[in-house]
Structure 1
Amino acid sequence: MNNRRTRLIALHQIPGMSRSLLKRIGKADSDLLLPYRADAEELVHMLGISPVRAAGIIHHRNDPNIMKKLDKILQHGRVVTWFDRHYPPLLRTIPDPPLILYLQGDASLLHPFRPLSVIGTRKPSKYAYPAMTSVLVPLIDKGFTIISGMAKGIDQYAHQLAVENKGRTIAVLGSGFHHVYPRNNESLYRTLAENQLVISEYPPDQPPKKYHFPERNRIISGLSTATFVVEARLRSGTLITVDQALEQGRDVYALPGPAGSQTSEGCHRMINDGAKLVHTYEDIWEDWE
């Protein structure tokens, strides 16, 4: 491991290695040599971690299994790190950028043209699909890249519309590629992994965990210059993503829905709070044109 890029990927494979701890290591030693040269006591003192965690790093830093994982990842070359020149520039600007992105599919999409994130409820109403079709298809025809999270409902609708209309789309997962979640539409996932782009900040063998999805959402909004919300309840992960988009300085658009529908309440609240109301695709297109 003769460069810090390789060391970063190797450290990322250690069980329990968090993004915050990796950043602490980088702050203490920009070359990321500290975990390979220090003993457990030094790691405790310099990184402010528990003796148990320090012992785990020592145990795993030369683990043959981790070396095998690293060799496989480097052999396939499907990873982008913070140190790479082709790391997405939009992601560099967000408050908590991912240090590593694992890729499947067309890596050129990592620098998307006219990137628009599309998010919403996992349980959409019958109104959602035709409404988002009328807005998104003209934008897809104009070259917009649709970014979403492969979740049931609005996310999968958005990816499907991009595929069916010969557009471009990126799916951001909340798990590693060996544990794709959800599994309700594996044919769509295979299509995205082969012909579009699927990315994750989690190592391939990492199963999904509840906290991964709010983390994943910051990448969905961070890869985009604007976020379009189709349907959302008042208390939902969608609104968390909207908050992250606003924190990142991104524009937010919302589609109004039928009065009295629970899946309309979140969008109506956002519109009241200043999100731009979308009647037709032109309400989004005029800001890009």
Structure 2
Amino acid sequence: MSGIHSGQLMHTIEKDMEKYHVITCNHKTYPPLLKRIPDPPILLYGLGNINFLKIEPKISVVGTRNHSNEAERKVEFLLKPLLHKEWLIVSGMAKGIDSIAHRLAINNTSKTIAILGFGFQHIYPKENISLMQELAKNHLLLSEYAPDEAPKPWHFPERNRIISGLTFGSLIVEAKERSGTFITAEQALDQGREVFVVPGSILHPQSKGCHLLIQEGANLVKDANDLLNAWETYKTRSINY
């Protein structure tokens, strides 16, 4: 039976390769940083420009779906200077902070990668249909799930390890006290990556999770220079290592 299943799997993958990029862990395009995490995906499906995987530096940007009125200004203030230096934004195409980050890159003719918790034949959330089409056409969609795999609740925590694993650090823009964003932060730390957190008003529920992460030792970020300096430090440490 296992031989039959293996044959069926290979046939499915070969069919998918006609429409999508299929990147195995031994493929030259497989991101080196992702390969170093404790549980790297065996293969990745790509739709769009897979050369984006070679671009450095990349930074992961995550946060709450129900963001504050200041969220867009925060994202633009911190990331626009990085985009001018050709940084690439990685996020999860979720409602809220993720979508803001992707659209900032698109609107500034920069580059962005979306990591999906489902296959390319599905769209989630539905309101992101135009964003997903733009990302597939001019940027990159990436998923460890087969193209016909529908979104399931446990897919999203699983895909978060790819969001954090693709980059040297994750930027938490806003997070409530009980937020799924904590999963990405924990995974980044487990992977030996940096966690950067944006502080906010003590009156805003969207900042409570951020303040907890800062109390636990995450890097407080006040401007883009903090991220630029962190990248230089990371490069030096990686070379010495």
TM value normalised by structure 1:
0.77
Question: How much has 1:68 moved relative to structure 2?
Answer: 5.8
Q: 1:157, 1:188 → 2: CA distance?
A: 10
The one-letter code of the counterpart of 2:111 is R
CA distance in 1, matches of 2:228, 2:14: 45
User: Is the CA contact (8 Å cut-off) linking 1:147 and 1:220 kept in structure 2?
Assistant: yes
The residue that corresponds to 2:41 in the other structure is 98
The 4+ residue runs of structure 1 with deviation greater than 4 A are 60-63
Whole-angstrom CA distance in 1 between matches of 2:22 and 2:142? 9
Of 92, 99, 103, which residue of structure 2 is paired with 1:149? 92
Q: Which has the larger radius of gyration?
A: 1
> Which residue does 1:248 correspond to in 2?
191
Deviations 1:201-251 (A, max 9, x none): 000000001000000000000001011000001211100110000000001
Separation in structure 1 between the aligned mates of residue 144 and residue 123 of structure 2, nearest angstrom: 13
Compared CA separation, residues 250 and 61, structure 1 to 2 (3 A): closer
Paired amino acid for 1:105: G
Q: Does residue 201 of the first structure (1) align with residue 144 of the second (2)?
A: yes
Within 1, Cα distance between the matches of 2:60 and 2:223?
A: 17
Question: Which residue of the partner structure matches residue 132 of structure 1?
Answer: 75
Pick aligned residue for 2:176 from 233, 240, 257: 233
User: Identity percentage over the alignment?
Assistant: 48
Q: Deviations over 1:103-153 (max 9, x none)?
A: 000010122310100000000010111111111101111111100000000
Matches within 5 A, 1:1-289: 35-36=2-3, 58=4, 60-61=5-6, 69-76=12-19, 78-289=21-232
Decide whether the 8 Å contact of 1:173 with 1:180 is kept in 2: no
Return the structure number with greater relative CO, CA threshold 8 A, min gap 6: 2
| 2:142 alignment partner, SS class | strand
AA matched with 1:277: L
Aligned residue for 1:55? none
Match of 2:238 in 1: none
What are the ranges of 5 or more consecutive residues in structure 2 without an aligned counterpart?
A: 233-241
Deviation, 1:195, is: 0.5
The total of aligned residue pairs comes to 232
Give the equivalent residue in structure 1 for 2:237: none
Aligned counterparts of 1:146 and 1:61: Cα–Cα separation in 2: 36
Provide the secondary structure at the position in 1 that maps to 2:146. coil
> 1-side partners of 2:55 and 2:143: how far apart?
16
| Per-residue CA distance 1:134-180 (angstroms, 9 max, x = gap) | 11101111111100000000000000001111111100000000112
Matched residue type, 2:12: K
Q: How far apart in 1 are the matches of 2:28 and 2:59?
A: 23
What is the distance in 1 between the residues matched to 2:156 and 2:102?
18
Q: CA contact under 8 A between 1:118 and 1:227: conserved in structure 2? A: yes
**In 2, are the aligned partners of 1:175 and 1:206 still within 8 Å (CA)?**
yes
Tell me, yes or no, if the aligned pair for 2:13 and 2:22 is still in contact at 8 Å: no
User: Which amino acid in 2 is paired with 1:90?
Assistant: L
